[in-house]
Amino acid sequence: MATKLYVGNLHFQTQEHDLRDLFGGYGEVVSCNVISDRDTGRSRGFGFIEMANEDEARSAENALNGQEFDGRQLKVNEAKPRENRGGRF
């Protein structure tokens, strides 16, 4: 079963292919998204990686959490379900 990881504190120039390459060293990456602002298109500084299995995801999380990438110290942990905060109407 695939495991989704949150990746925070990304450099604003980091692209999805950069993250895919980084996490690909720890296992099969199923999907990769860098979240961007819907109005400006600029990166919001975080993203999500989905890895093929839990062991590979744990390995990547343990190895990369706190490591420097593109000049920033990454924050990597298991993604939590999105909360409904009301949002726009």
- Provide the whole-model pTM: 0.88
Residue 86 belongs to a domain: no
The CATH number of the domain where 8 resides is what?
3.30.70.330
Residue 27 belongs to a domain: yes
Residue 16's CB is within 10 A of a number of other CB atoms, namely: 15
| Mean pLDDT value across the chain | 93
When mean pLDDT is compared across 8-12, 13-17, 38-42, 82-86, the lowest value belongs to 82-86
pLDDT of the residue at 10:
97
Residue 61 belongs to a domain: yes
C-beta separation of 70 from 47 below 8 A: no
Number of domains in the chain: 1
Assigned token pair, 75: 């924050």
